[in-house]
C-alpha cells in the first residue's frame, strides 16, 4: 500500500466509514481502488491532504512598545528590511487540540475555494489581531509523520513570511489563548516541526526581506460547488448532514455523538517549472500543454506529490518552492516548484521539451502566467521543504 499508514485498511481506524453521497457503508479497496469506497454508488474517499496556511511574522525590537495600562504589546507597521538578529517572531498558544496549550505560529485550515495566501492573512487577523502583508512564500511540507493510522496526520502546511502592515495591538483571539513575541532561543519549543523549520530558517537569514509574492489574478467565476450539493451523509457515523449557520459549513446532525464537519477543503496539486538550459518540460493533458502536475497523494508532502507525477519516468530534481495559488474555477490549490529535468533520458509519451522563450500557443493560460512570472524573476527562490 503506497504511502498509506499502517492499519489504514482496518475498519476501526478507517478515515471514512460511510459514503458521503448515499450513506452506505464503505469497504476497503472496492474495485481495486486502494481506498475506502462505496460499493453502491462508487464514491471513493480520495483522502487528499487537508491544506493549512501558516504565517511567520517577524517584529523588530524597535517596533514594539508595551502599553503602560495593561502590558499589551503595541506593534508598529514595518516597511524597511528587518535584520533577523534584531527581531522576534509572533507566536500563539493553541486553544484547541492537537497540541492544546502548546505554542505555534498563527495558522489554520484553508477554506473551501479560498486563496491559501489570503488564508494566511486571515489567520494573522483572527488569531493575533494583526493586519499583515505577505512578503514571500517560504515553503510547503508535511507537518509531522506517523506510520500508525491512529496518529497519522493527513495535512500539508503552506507557509508565508509577512510584515505587519498597520500599527496594532498583539491580542489573542479565536483559536489562540495567548500571544507573544519569541526570540531565537525559544523557537525549538514550537509544537509543529514545520514551524520550527521555518523559524530557524528566519533566524539563520535564509529568507531575505524582499517581496516575491505571486499576483496572478485567475478568473473567479464559475466556481464548481458540485461536491457541496452532493454531500448528504456523515462519513464517520452515517447520520445525515445539515447546514450549520454557526460554523458556516455542513455538519453531522448527530452533534452529541459525532459532529463531524464537512470542510470541503481545496485539493492540493503539485506543479513544476522544470528547465534545463533554456528548455522547459511541458506535458500534454486534456488537449493542451501544461506544466507537469499531479494531486498530492494521501499522507504525502507536495514534493512527494511532484515526484509521483513522474513515477517510473524521467529523473527530476526539485530545487525550490515558488508559490502556492488558488485555481478559482475548481476547489484546488497549486503548489509550484522550480527544478531541473535530466535531458538525457527518453521522453515520457505525453511530455515534450520547448524553448522557454518560444512557448506553444495551446498552453494552459494559468501555466503560461506561472512561466512568465518565473522568467521575470517574480518568485524569490528559497530551498524547498521536504
Going by C-beta distance under 8 Å and a sequence separation of 6 or more, which residues neighbour residue 32? none
Nearer to Zn ion, 19 or 306 (CB): 19
Determine which residue in the list 34, 223, 258, 308 makes contact with Zn ion, applying CB under 5 A.
Answer: 258
Q: Give the ranges where 238-364 is alpha helix by DSSP (H).
A: 302-308
Going by C-beta distance under 8 Å and a sequence separation of 6 or more, which residues neighbour residue 123? 53, 54, 55, 106, 107, 108
- Stretch of 12-20, 120-128, 217-225, 360-368 lying at the interface with Zn ion (CB under 5 A): 12-20
- Interaction between residue 231 and Zn ion (CB under 5 A): no
Instruction: Let me know: does 335 contact 327? Beta carbons within 8 Å.
Output: no
How many Å apart are CA 255 and CA 102, to the nearest integer? Answer: 27
* Joined grid coordinates for residue 34: 486502494
Greatest C-alpha distance within the chain:
70
How near is the Cβ of 262 to Zn ion at its closest, in Å? 10
Q: How many residues sit in the footprint of Zn ion (CB under 5 A)?
A: 15
How near is the Cβ of 373 to Zn ion at its closest, in Å? 42
Determine which residue in the list 41, 225, 230, 247 makes contact with Zn ion, applying CB under 5 A.
Answer: 41
How near is the Cβ of 33 to Zn ion at its closest, in Å? 13
Determine which residue in the list 30, 191, 223, 237 makes contact with Zn ion, applying CB under 5 A.
Answer: 237
- Interaction between residue 280 and Zn ion (CB under 5 A): no
Nearer to Zn ion, 43 or 379 (CB): 43
Determine which residue in the list 76, 260, 330, 354 makes contact with Zn ion, applying CB under 5 A.
Answer: 260
Question: Interface residues for Zn ion in 193-212 (CB under 5 A)?
Answer: none
In 3D space, the residue among 346, 284, 375, 337 whose CA is nearest the CA of residue 141 turns out to be 337
Residue 6 DSSP label: B
- Stretch of 9-17, 85-93, 249-257, 367-375 lying at the interface with Zn ion (CB under 5 A): 249-257
CB atoms within 10 A of CB 213: 18
- Interaction between residue 153 and Zn ion (CB under 5 A): no
Determine which residue in the list 6, 22, 191, 383 makes contact with Zn ion, applying CB under 5 A.
Answer: 22
Determine which residue in the list 252, 291, 322, 325 makes contact with Zn ion, applying CB under 5 A.
Answer: 252
Q: What are the beta bridge partners of residue 132?
A: 164
- Interaction between residue 30 and Zn ion (CB under 5 A): no
How near is the Cβ of 243 to Zn ion at its closest, in Å? 15
Report angle CA 20, 21, 24 to the nearest 5 degrees: 75
Going by C-beta distance under 8 Å and a sequence separation of 6 or more, which residues neighbour residue 282? 289, 290, 291, 292, 351, 352, 353, 354, 359, 360, 363, 367
- Interaction between residue 241 and Zn ion (CB under 5 A): no
Determine which residue in the list 120, 234, 281, 335 makes contact with Zn ion, applying CB under 5 A.
Answer: 234
Instruction: Let me know: does 299 contact 5? Beta carbons within 8 Å.
Output: yes
- Interaction between residue 105 and Zn ion (CB under 5 A): no
User: What residues line the site for Zn ion (CB under 5 A)?
Assistant: 19, 21-22, 24, 38, 40-41, 43, 234, 236-237, 239, 252, 258, 260
Amino acid at each position: 500500500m503506497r504511502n498509506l499508514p499502517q492499519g489504514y485498511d482496518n475498519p476501526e481506524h478507517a478515515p471514512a466509514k460511510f459514503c458521503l453521497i448515499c450513506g452506505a457503508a464503505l469497504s476497503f479497496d472496492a474495485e481495486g481502488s486502494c481506498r475506502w469506497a462505496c460499493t453502491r454508488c462508487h464514491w471513493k474517499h480520495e483522502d487528499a491532504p487537508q491544506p493549512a496556511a501558516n504565517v511567520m511574522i517577524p517584529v523588530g525590537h524597535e517596533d514594539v512598545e508595551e502599553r503602560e495600562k495593561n502590558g499589551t504589546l503595541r506593534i508598529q507597521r514595518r516597511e524597511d528590511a528587518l535584520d533577523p538578529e534584531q527581531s522576534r517572531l509572533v507566536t500563539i498558544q493553541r486553544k484547541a487540540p492537537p497540541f492544546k496549550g502548546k505554542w505555534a505560529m498563527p495558522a489554520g485550515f484553508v477554506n473551501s475555494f479560498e486563496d491559501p495566501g489570503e488564508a494566511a492573512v486571515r489567520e494573522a487577523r483572527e488569531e493575533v489581531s494583526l493586519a499583515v502583508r505577505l512578503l514571500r512564500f517560504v515553503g510547503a511540507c508535511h507537518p509531522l509523520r506517523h506510520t500508525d493510522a491512529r496518529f497519522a496526520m493527513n495535512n500539508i502546511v503552506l507557509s508565508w513570511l509577512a510584515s505587519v502592515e498597520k500599527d496594532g495591538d498583539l491580542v489573542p483571539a479565536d483559536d489562540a489563548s495567548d500571544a507573544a513575541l519569541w526570540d531565537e532561543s525559544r523557537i525549538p519549543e514550537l509544537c509543529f516541526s514545520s514551524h520550527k523549520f521555518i523559524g530557524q530558517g528566519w533566524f539563520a537569514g535564509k529568507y531575505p526581506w524582499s517581496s516575491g509574492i505571486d499576483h496572478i489574478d485567475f478568473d473567479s467565476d464559475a466556481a464548481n460547488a458540485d461536491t457541496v450539493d452532493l454531500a448528504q451523509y456523515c462519513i464517520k457515523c452515517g447520520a445525515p448532514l445539515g447546514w450549520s449557520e454557526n460554523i458556516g459549513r455542513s455538519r453531522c446532525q448527530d452533534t452529541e455523538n459525532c459532529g463531524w464537519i464537512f470542510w470541503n477543503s481545496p485539493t492540493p496539486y503539485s506543479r513544476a517549472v522544470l528547465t534545463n538550459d533554456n528548455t522547459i518540460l511541458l506535458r500534454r493533458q486534456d488537449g493542451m500543454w501544461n506544466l507537469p502536475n499531479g494531486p498530492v497523494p494521501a499522507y504525502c508532502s507536495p514534493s512527494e506529490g511532484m515526484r509521483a507525477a513522474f513515477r517510473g519516468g524521467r529523473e527530476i530534481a526539485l530545487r525550490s518552492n515558488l508559490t502556492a495559488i488558488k485555481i478559482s474555477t475548481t476547489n484546488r490549490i497549486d503548489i509550484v516548484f522550480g527544478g531541473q529535468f535530466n535531458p538525457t533520458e527518453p521522453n515520457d509519451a505525453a511530455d515534450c521539451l520547448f524553448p522557454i522563450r518560444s512557448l506553444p500557443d495551446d498552453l494552459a493560460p494559468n501555466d503560461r502566467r506561472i512561466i512568465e512570472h518565473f522568467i521575470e524573476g517574480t518568485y524569490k527562490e528559497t530551498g524547498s521543504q521536504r
